[in-house]
Amino acid sequence: MSSPYHIGLYALVQHHGNYLMVRQAASTLPPGPYGLPGAALVGEVGGGVAELHLRRKLLSQLGLSVGEFTLSGSHTLRTSDGDVLLNLILGTDYNSGVPNPQQGVIMEMQWCSLSDLQARGDVPEWLLNAVRSYQEHLSATSSAGRNQGRSILKWGR
């Protein structure tokens, strides 16, 4: 008999070199001092359903609008019930909105730089790796734009 699996979608939102960290009332991410906004994927099959679902969650949970998504990390874990959880971390840039955490869902939020997260010593490696991966993506994207003689316009930079 196979175990059921669940897919969690979480956003690594970047703004001016800082990343949005939250503590949710319920999450499929491993417990710890930091987490990311998002939720389990529930939706119909179709193009872009994961990204649309995550955009809706960010808007409803935090009041934020974000840019394009880039896969920045993933990890799996097995619960004590035997369920397998696959969590996808999608990096993105903050576009607009005034942070307004949804009461009862987001318990705490803060913006942290990679160096702040590394200095703490209690941030899980999967989260640090996702931040590093997204920073590498941003650096490569920025370099490609300069090499082509065009700048990449991103709000808030």
**Residue 121 neighbours by CB under 8 Å, 6+ apart:** none
| pLDDT at residue 151, rounded to an integer | 37
**Residue 10 neighbours by CB under 8 Å, 6+ apart:** 29, 35, 36, 37, 38, 54, 87, 88, 89, 90
CATH architecture of 5-147: Alpha-Beta Complex (3.90)
The pTM (predicted TM-score) of the whole model is 0.77
How do 18-24 and 84-96 pair as beta strands? unpaired
Residue 157, pLDDT above cutoff 50: no
Q: To the nearest whole percent, how much of the chain has pLDDT over 90?
A: 37
Residue 96, pLDDT above cutoff 90: yes
Q: What is the mean pLDDT of the chain?
A: 81
pLDDT band of residue 156 (cuts 50, 70, 90) is: very low
Encode burial over 52-84: b for 16+ CB neighbours within 10 A, e otherwise. Answer: ebbbebbeebbebebeebbebbbbeeeeeeeee
Reported as a single tens digit per residue, the pLDDT across 35-82 is: 777 776 655 545 577 888 899 999 999 999 999 999 999 888 787 777
